[in-house]
Structure 1
């Protein structure tokens, strides 16, 4: 039987060497076609929030379930009696500086992700990084108080619901005008979806950081 596998492998190797890959019969390159259809210069964002929007919906839902899983996983554990943070002044200054830069980058990626490299997921990761940097030099009680004061858990759920509703409307064929290609207010619904994903990922990361620090400590 192994000779059959060897023969099949040799045949596949010959096919790869000798048979050319099929080419798309189109007057427009693929990237240009995606940009034209989506109305945004960032073709990756066009694919994520238009061509593969159905997949993106479930990616957001999976991230939401992952955050819920963190709560479920640690629900029966005893919180840490003492959480240690970095207390030396250089670490505090560097962490807060890094958090400020990361937060500004996250906001930039969320607002302009449809025009340049970036997008909602990258923006959410940058915002989550900023929150993590603040958490390692701040009191967990203070972080939790801010989280509750701003009702971050509620905002996270609302952002997911709005994202799913707007995505469903887009999938049935109802779209906003694309506007002028390359301008900030362009791309139809894509910039709004970008911002919603950034909010969702950023707030979800905040929740995960808080719960792991509370039950597992910083180190």
Structure 2
């Protein structure tokens, strides 16, 4: 069987190298132009994610929510660690917090301008979660928990998911905001709002997961 797999893989690579795709070229460019015109945003990727395949995006947000719930469920019966060791040396703390500041600024930029340039809600949420993780490894877990509870981050996360689903369903049934001027910050109808909602959801969900893993597993 090993030789069959090797022969099939070799045949596939030969097909890719020898046989070209005659339809590649202007046809691909025209699809990008159609997506931009239809969505009203200059970032065709955002147009596809939040319009052409919005069904997929809705379920991606739901799956991420279920993943965070699964983490909470799996760790619910475990005993929290009594001592959580964090970074103590000053150079590491300075570098981690500098990286967190940069990641937070990138997150805000990607969330606000993700429909105009490479980026978007998911990338913004990952950058925000990275910033939170860098702060968490240099700060007291009790302090991080206190901020999470004080700002009602769990409630904000759930509300952002509900608003995203409602806004996405409105788009799917044909209710749209004016697209505005192509290339402007306020353009693309509801897409900038969807970008920001996804960024909030992913960042706060990452925050919850980081806190849970630190509480029950420490810094891995």
- Which aligned pairs between 1:195-210 and structure 2 lie closer than 5 A? 195-210=196-211
Using the size of structure 1 for normalisation, the TM-score is 0.90
Please name the residue that 1:158 is paired with. Answer: 159
Please name the residue that 1:148 is paired with. Answer: 149
Please name the residue that 1:113 is paired with. Answer: 114
Please name the residue that 1:85 is paired with. Answer: 86
Q: CA deviation at 1:30?
A: 1.1
Please name the residue that 1:47 is paired with. Answer: 48
- The number of residues matched between the two structures is 215
Identify if the C-alpha distance between structure 1 residues 25 and 72 changes in structure 2 by more than 3 Å, giving closer, same or farther. Answer: same
Instruction: String of CA shifts for 1:138-179, please: whole Å, max 9, x gaps.
Output: 000000000000000000000000000000000001111100
Once residues 139 and 20 of structure 2 are traced to their aligned partners in structure 1, the CA distance between those partners, rounded to angstroms, is 61
Please name the residue that 1:182 is paired with. Answer: 183
Please name the residue that 2:171 is paired with. Answer: 170
- Which aligned pairs between 1:91-106 and structure 2 lie closer than 5 A? 91-106=92-107
Q: CA deviation at 1:22?
A: 4.9
Unmatched 5+ stretches in structure 1: none
Using the size of structure 2 for normalisation, the TM-score is 0.90
Once residues 215 and 63 of structure 1 are traced to their aligned partners in structure 2, the CA distance between those partners, rounded to angstroms, is 21
Say if 2:134 is the partner of 1:133.
Answer: yes
Identify if the C-alpha distance between structure 1 residues 20 and 135 changes in structure 2 by more than 3 Å, giving closer, same or farther. Answer: closer
In the TM superposition, structure 1's runs of 4+ consecutive aligned residues that sit over 3 Å from their partners are 16-28
Please name the residue that 1:67 is paired with. Answer: 68
Instruction: String of CA shifts for 1:4-54, please: whole Å, max 9, x gaps.
Output: xx9xx98xx78x966965579979711111111100000000000000001
Unmatched 5+ stretches in structure 2: none
